[in-house]
C-alpha cells in the first residue's frame, strides 16, 4: 500500500498503454525510472508471489496512475467498466485464496483488511484525482463511489479490530464518543447552523466581489490601456488598429467565446485575422457560416487562410480584407479577398513560395484545393476542404 501511494504521488508517473501487457503500469514505471519494463515486471511478479502484495499494489497503481498518451480518454467509465472492475476484483480474490491455501500468507488479520483498504482507498483517491467539476449526471456516480470507498475502508477497520478481538473495547469507546457528539450537537446546533449560513453568505459575497475585481482588472488591462494608447497615438491608422483590436478582444470577452469556442474553425480564423490585422495594420473582417471542429486538415486550412490574409494585407494596397468561411454538409469553403491592384498569378516568380507552397501546396497535401483569381478589382483566394 505504502509503496503504491509513494509511486502515485509522483505527478509525472503515467501508465503507458502503448507498451502494455495488462494496464501498462510496469511500462509506465519503467519509462519513468528509465529501465527495461521487464525488470519492473519481474519485481511485480516476485512481490505477487510474496503474499499477494504485488497484485494489490498493481491494481491500485492501475487505478491511480493516469494513462499516458495513446489511450483514448479512459475516464468516465464506459458501459463495460463495472463488469471489468468486478472481473478484476474476483480474479484478485481467487488468486489471494489460492495463495492462502498454498500457505504463502501473512495472516487473515492483516491481508483481508489490507485488501479492503486498498480497494476503498483506490476508489476515494480516484474520485479525488478526477476533474474537479464533473458534469451533473456524473455527480451521482461520484457520490455513490465515494460512499462505497468510505464503507470499504470502515469495514477494513472493523475487520481488523474483530480479527484482533479488540472490537468490544472499541465499541465502548465509540459509544462514549457518540453520546458526547450528540449532546454537544444538540447544545451547539443553533450556533453551528448560524455559522454555516453566514459562511455561505460570506462565500457568495466573496465570489461577487471577486467577479467585480476580475472585471475591473480586465477593463483596466484592456480598455483603459487602449484608451491611453489612443490618446497618445498620432497616426489615424494606428488609432483605428488599436480600437479594432480592443473591440475584438472585448467582444470575445463579453460573449465568453474565449473558453467556449476553442478548437473550432470560426474562432481559429478570427484569431488568425486578429493577428494579421495587428501585424499589418489592415482591417480584416471575418464572417463565418457554420462551423467545424479543428483537426489536422482544418488546421491546415486555417494556416493557408492565414497566409492568404497576410498576402492580402501586404499586397492589397491597404484595402480592407474580407474573409468568408462557409461550412455545410462537411464541406468548407474559405474566401479571402482584398481590393488591391491585383497581380498575375502565372507571373509570380518560381522562388516566391507564399502562394505555391503555403496555400496551394498545403491545401493539396490535405486533399483540398486552392485557387487564386486576380483582376484590377482585387484578388480572391478560394480554399476548399471536403
Partner 1 sequence: MTRVVVVDDHELFRAGVRSQLEGLVEIVADAATVDEAVGKIDVEQPDVVLLDVHMPGGGGVEVIKRTESDTRFLALSVSDAAEDVIAVIRAGARGYVTKTISAEELADAIERVKEGDAVFSPRLAGFVLDAFAGAAPAKPDGDPDLDQLTPREREVLQHLARGYMYKEIARRLDISTKTVEAHASAVLRKLQLSSRHEISRWAAERKLL
List residues binding partner 1 (CB under 8 A): 244, 247, 251, 255, 257, 260-261, 285, 287-290, 320, 322, 324, 326, 328, 335, 337, 377, 380
Give the residue with the Cβ less far from partner 1, 307 or 380.
380
Give the residue with the Cβ less far from partner 1, 152 or 308.
308
Q: Give the residue from 266, 340, 357 showing the smallest Cα distance to 304.
A: 357
> Minimum Å distance from CB 276 to partner 1?
15
Name every residue whose Cβ is closer than 8 Å to that of residue 357 and which is 6 or more positions away in sequence.
none
How far from 372 is each of 166, 245, 307, 346, 375, CA to CA, in Å?
A: 86, 28, 13, 10, 10
Give the residue with the Cβ less far from partner 1, 16 or 380.
380
Cβ–Cβ < 8 Å for 330, 306: no
Give the residue with the Cβ less far from partner 1, 53 or 312.
312
Per DSSP, 318 falls in state: T
> Minimum Å distance from CB 324 to partner 1?
4
Give the residue with the Cβ less far from partner 1, 221 or 326.
326
Dist CA 386 CA 35 (whole Å): 46
Give the residue with the Cβ less far from partner 1, 100 or 281.
281
The strand pair at 378-385 and 368-375 is best described as antiparallel
Dist CA 317 CA 138 (whole Å): 56
> Minimum Å distance from CB 262 to partner 1?
12
> Minimum Å distance from CB 149 to partner 1?
38
The strand pair at 378-385 and 321-328 is best described as unpaired
Cβ–Cβ < 8 Å for 277, 283: yes
Look at the block and give the residue holding cell 467582444. Answer: 251
Dist CA 206 CA 186 (whole Å): 30
Give the residue with the Cβ less far from partner 1, 13 or 304.
304
What DSSP string runs through 165-218? T-HHHHHHHHHHHHHHHHHHHHHHHHHHHHHHHHHHHHHHHHHHHHHHHHHHHH
> Minimum Å distance from CB 311 to partner 1?
16
Q: Return the number of other C-beta atoms located less than 10 Å from residue 246's C-beta.
A: 17
Give the residue with the Cβ less far from partner 1, 67 or 288.
288
> Minimum Å distance from CB 223 to partner 1?
14
> Minimum Å distance from CB 270 to partner 1?
12
> Minimum Å distance from CB 333 to partner 1?
9
Give the residue with the Cβ less far from partner 1, 290 or 341.
290
Per DSSP, which regions of 214-263 are E strands?
none
> Minimum Å distance from CB 279 to partner 1?
20
Give the residue with the Cβ less far from partner 1, 45 or 243.
243
Residue 63: what are its φ and ψ, rounded to 5°?
A: -70, -40
> Minimum Å distance from CB 283 to partner 1?
8
Dihedral Cα 248, 254, 259, 260, nearest 10 deg:
-100
Q: Give the residue from 88, 68, 73 showing the smallest Cα distance to 27.
A: 68
The number of helices, as runs of H, and strands, as runs of E, in the chain is: 15, 5
Record the cell numbers describing residue 140, joined without a space.
451521482
Amino acid at each position: 500500500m505504502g509503496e503504491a501511494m509513494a509511486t502515485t504521488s509522483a505527478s509525472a508517473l503515467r501508465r503507458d498503454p502503448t507498451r502494455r501487457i495488462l494496464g501498462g503500469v510496469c511500462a509506465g514505471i519503467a519509462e519513468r525510472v528509465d529501465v527495461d519494463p521487464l525488470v519492473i515486471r519481474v519485481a511485480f511478479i516476485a512481490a505477487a508471489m510474496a503474499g499477494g502484495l504485488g497484485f494489490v499494489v498493481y491494481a491500485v497503481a492501475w487505478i491511480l496512475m493516469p494513462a499516458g498518451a495513446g489511450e483514448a480518454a479512459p475516464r468516465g467509465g464506459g458501459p463495460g467498466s463495472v463488469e471489468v472492475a468486478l472481473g478484476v476484483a474476483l480474479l484478485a480474490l481467487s488468486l489471494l485464496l489460492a495463495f492462502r491455501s498454498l500457505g504463502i500468507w501473512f495472516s487473515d488479520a492483516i491481508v483481508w483488511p489490507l485488501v479492503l483498504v486498498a480497494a476503498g482507498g483506490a476508489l476515494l483517491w480516484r474520485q479525488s484525482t478526477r476533474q474537479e467539476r464533473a458534469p451533473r449526471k456524473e455527480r451521482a456516480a461520484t457520490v455513490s463511489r465515494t460512499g462505497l470507498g468510505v464503507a470499504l475502508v470502515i469495514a477494513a477497520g472493523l475487520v481488523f479490530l474483530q480479527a484482533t478481538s479488540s472490537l468490544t473495547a472499541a465499541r465502548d469507546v465509540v459509544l462514549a464518543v457518540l453520546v458526547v457528539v450528540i449532546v454537544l450537537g444538540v447544545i451547539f446546533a443553533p450556533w453551528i447552523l448560524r455559522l454555516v449560513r453566514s459562511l455561505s453568505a460570506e462565500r457568495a459575497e466573496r465570489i461577487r466581489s471577486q467577479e467585480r475585481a476580475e472585471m475591473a482588472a480586465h477593463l483596466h488591462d484592456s480598455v483603459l490601456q487602449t484608451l491611453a494608447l489612443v490618446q497618445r497615438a498620432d497616426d489615424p491608422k494606428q488609432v483605428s488598429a488599436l480600437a479594432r483590436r480592443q473591440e475584438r478582444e472585448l467582444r470575445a470577452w463579453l460573449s465568453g467565446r474565449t473558453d467556449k469556442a476553442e478548437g473550432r474553425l470560426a474562432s481559429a480564423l478570427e484569431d488568425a485575422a486578429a493577428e494579421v490585422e495587428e501585424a499589418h495594420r489592415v482591417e480584416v473582417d471575418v464572417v463565418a457560416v457554420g462551423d467545424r471542429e479543428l483537426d489536422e486538415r482544418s488546421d491546415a486550412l486555417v494556416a493557408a487562410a492565414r497566409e492568404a490574409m497576410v498576402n492580402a494585407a501586404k499586397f492589397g494596397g491597404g484595402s480592407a480584407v474580407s474573409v468568408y468561411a462557409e461550412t455545410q454538409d462537411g464541406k468548407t469553403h474559405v474566401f479571402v479577398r482584398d481590393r488591391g491592384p491585383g497581380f498575375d498569378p502565372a507571373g509570380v516568380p518560381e522562388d516566391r513560395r507564399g502562394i505555391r507552397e503555403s496555400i496551394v501546396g498545403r491545401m493539396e497535401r490535405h486533399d483540398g484545393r486552392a485557387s487564386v483569381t486576380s483582376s484590377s478589382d482585387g484578388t480572391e483566394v478560394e480554399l476548399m476542404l471536403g
